[in-house]
Every structure is written in structure tokens, then in C-alpha cells.
Amino acid sequence: MCPASFDYHRPASVAEAVQLLSRPGAKALAGGHSLIPAMNLRVAQPGELVDIGRLDVLRGIRVDGNRLIIGALSTHAQIAASPEVQKHCAALATACSTVGDPAVRNWGTIGGNLAHADPASDPPTVVLACDAVIHTQGENGQRAIKAADFFVDVFTVDLQPGELITSIEIPSQSHRRMAYVKLPHPASRYAVVGVCVSMHTSGGVCDQIAIAVGGATAKATRATGAQSALLGSLLEAEALEAAAIAISADIGDQAVSDIYANATYRRAMAGVLLKRAVKAL
């Protein structure tokens, strides 16, 4: 297929990019691995493409105190291979290493991934579990948006027209143990269900925990019931079973059904994956 015609811009600065993106019908192009397939199918027909791929200021992964700062143009492959990410947010490295295939991981970017907000994508689940902050720049200046507020619905995030993700800030999880486990769709390799756990134990007792589940609902979701079930527990079999039941309830009737897997399966798998994630810690 061939896309509908469009104008192409390659801004030299974030400010110029924001200005271009503020125009009606403009769309940011980073790795292009979500946008271009949609354009080829003419599902997306942006009138103007703003190629932000040369904005080097949006690249790079660094540690600032106890915060991990990931530039929006970092690719999945760069994140998966980054020693900083492996140390401070290991599950994000895992998640990014399972996105798509090598071509997608070498081109696709974390910023584009989060902005696209595919409900079955892997990184949003981890970002949500880590209480990350999404930094953006728009016409009205910069914003810092909590991940919990950022993801709104299917393919919908809290970004204004023209607003660009510049970086993702993740509180270091190095004092915690993390895992991300998923059941990949056999064709797309997106998560049918993906579960991220970030946990701290003290004397065998779970005293800090964050759990997020993706793929199962319209957007990545924090499993608050499951968190409660495990917090204060010794992670014994009964607690894990209770957490598995709780995560199914957390998803509840928000679970999605499609031709591959129905809601019942997704609810049940969230529990199975949660148990496996905890065991993998």
C-alpha cells in the first residue's frame, strides 16, 4: 500500500518541532513503526509529518541522583541494552527486549511508544508500575505528567496538540526487585497480558509493592487489589493465590476480548503471570 500524500518537515529544534506540530493534521514521526503502517493502510492520513528523528537533545539515557532519565528518542534496543536501565529499572529493559522484532526494536522509540499508547504494548505497563513521570514540551511550555494520569484510554494519552514527549523520568528501582512477564500474541508479539511487579521485602515481608497489568484492558492499569493482597505478606502460596484472584478482580469487567483471547482468559492469565513474576523476583 501507499500512504496518502503529506508534507514533510525536519525541524532543527524542539521549539520548531512543537511549533510545526501545533498545526492541524500534523503528526510527529520518530521511529515510525506504529505510524507508518497506519499510514500505509491509510488508517492514518496526517497532512504533515514532523520528523523529530534528528533532535539529538531527545536522545540519551542517564542517571540523575536516584532518577533514571530516558530521552524520548531512545530506541527499545538501546533501552534493553542499557546498563543504567538494567540497574535502575530492570523490568523496562526486559519489556523493551520483547517489543516486536529486531527491526521494530532498533527503530521504535520509547517516546513514540508511550504517545501511541497501544493497550497491548509492553513499556507502558512498566512505566506505570514505576510511577514514572512523562516530561513534555508544548506551546505553553513544559509539563511533567504522572504516568497514572498520562494514559487515558485506547490510543489516547494526555498530550495536547503540538505537545511532544521529551523524556521519561523513572524513580530508581535499584533497591527493589522487578520483573516483567508477558504472554505474547503469536502474530504481533504484543502482550495478550503483561504484568510488571516492583517489590521490596524486608525480612521476607513484602513492605513495598507496585503491580501493573497491560494488554488486559484498554490501557495499562495498576492492580491495587493485588498490591494490597501482597503488601505485608510473606509471599506465601496463599498470599500469591489471593493476589492472583485480586488481580483478576482489579481487571474485572474492563478486560478486553478479541479474536485471539477472551476476557476470561485475560483475567485468569493476569493471575498466572503475577504469580510467575513474583516467583521470578
Partner 1 sequence: MASRIFGSGIKRREDPRLITGKGKFTGDIMLPHMLHMVVVRSPYAHATIKHIDVTAAAAVEGVVAVYTNADMTLANIPCAWLIPNSNLKLVPHPPLAKEKVRYVGDGVAIVLAESRDIAQDAADLVRVDYEALTAVVNPEEASMDGAPLLHVEAPNNIAFRWIASSGDAGVEKAFAEADVVVKERIVQQRLQPSSMETRAAVAQWDSGNEEMTLWVSSQNPHIARFVVSGVAGLPEHKLRVIAPEVGGGFGAKLPIYPDEVLTVWAARKLDRPVKWVESRSENYTVTTHGRDHIEYVEIAATKEGKVTALRGKVYAGMGGYLSTAAPGIPTIAHGLMYSGVYTIPNLRCESIGVFTTTTPVDAYRGAGRPEATFLVERLMDKLADKLGMDPVVLRRKNLIPPFANGYTVAMGITYDSGNYEGALAKALGIADYDQLRKEQAEARTKGRYIGIGVTTYAELCGFGPSAVAGATGFQGGLWESAIVRVSPVGKVQVLIGASPHGQGEETTFAQIISDELGFPVKDIDVIHGDTSRTPMGWGTYGSRTTAVGGAALVLAARKIKEKARAMAAHLLEAAVEDIDYDDGKFFVKGSPDKFKTIQDATLMATLAWNLPPGMEPGMEASQFYDPPNFTYPFGAHIAVVEIDPDTGKVDLKRYIAVDDCGPQINPVIVKGQVHGGLAQGIGQALCEGAVYDDNGQLLTGAMTDYAIPRADMFPQFEIDHTVTPSPHHPIGVKGIGEAGTIASTPTIYNAVIDALKPFGIESINMPLTAPRVWAAIQEARANHAIGGR
- Site size with partner 1, rule: CB under 8 A: 22
Distance in Å, CB of 75 to partner 1, minimum? 20
Tally of helices (H runs) and strands (E runs) in the chain: 12, 14
Indicate whether 4 belongs to the interface with partner 1 (CB under 8 A). Answer: yes
Is the CB of residue 273 less than 8 Å from the CB of residue 183?
Answer: yes
Beta bridge partners of 62: 69
Distance in Å, CB of 53 to partner 1, minimum? 23
Rounded Cα distance, 233 and 219, in Å: 28
Largest pairwise CA distance in the chain: 62
Rounded Cα distance, 241 and 161, in Å: 44
Nearer to partner 1, 14 or 268 (CB): 268
Distance in Å, CB of 2 to partner 1, minimum? 5
Distance in Å, CB of 136 to partner 1, minimum? 28
Nearer to partner 1, 114 or 270 (CB): 270
Is the CB of residue 108 less than 8 Å from the CB of residue 75?
Answer: yes
Is the CB of residue 97 less than 8 Å from the CB of residue 105?
Answer: yes
Give the contact letters, 168-207, x = binds to partner 1 (CB under 8 A), - = no: ---------------x-xxxx-x-x---------------
Our CA dihedral for 193, 131, 74, 192, rounded to 10 degrees, sits at: 0
Indicate whether 265 belongs to the interface with partner 1 (CB under 8 A). Answer: yes
Distance in Å, CB of 63 to partner 1, minimum? 33
Residue ranges binding partner 1 (CB under 8 A): 1-2, 4-5, 41-42, 183, 185-188, 190, 192, 259-262, 264-265, 268-269, 272
